[in-house]
């Protein structure tokens, strides 16, 4: 099972986001529906928990989007099962 997350720095902000991995012989990465940001510098423990949360929100084995026949790209069950990842208590102070 492949799970994927991306860490990106933009100016003084560090962004972490989840990615979905399509099923099939040639999987593609599609940006997921979970993301979080923190101001630099970021403590290692905070960065680690952000990455773990993004990986937990990553979805392996999603169907490849069919943009030709479905303008939304995904089948309805995947859109309706979106779940928000719980935020650790350490983020409440931001």
The domain segmentation of the chain, as residue ranges, is 4-84
The average pLDDT across 60-69 equals 82
Residue 8, pLDDT > 90, answer: yes
The average pLDDT across 71-90 equals 51
Residue 78, pLDDT > 80, answer: no
Q: pLDDT exceeding 70 applies to what percent of the chain?
A: 73
Do residues 20 and 78 lie in contact, with contact meaning Cβ atoms separated by under 8 Å?
no
Single pTM value for the model = 0.66
CA angle 8, 13, 15 (to 5 degrees): 35
Residue 85, pLDDT > 60, answer: no
């Amino acid at each position: 099972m492949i799970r994927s997350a991306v860490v990106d720095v933009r100016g003084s902000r560090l962004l972490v986001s989840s990615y979905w991995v399509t099923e099939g012989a040639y999987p593609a990465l599609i940006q997921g529906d979970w993301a979080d940001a923190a101001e630099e510098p970021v403590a290692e423990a905070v960065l680690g928990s952000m990455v773990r949360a993004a990986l937990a929100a990553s979805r392996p084995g999603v169907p490849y989007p069919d943009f030709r026949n479905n303008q939304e790209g995904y089948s309805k069950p995947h859109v309706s099962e979106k779940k928000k990842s719980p935020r650790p208590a350490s983020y409440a102070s931001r």
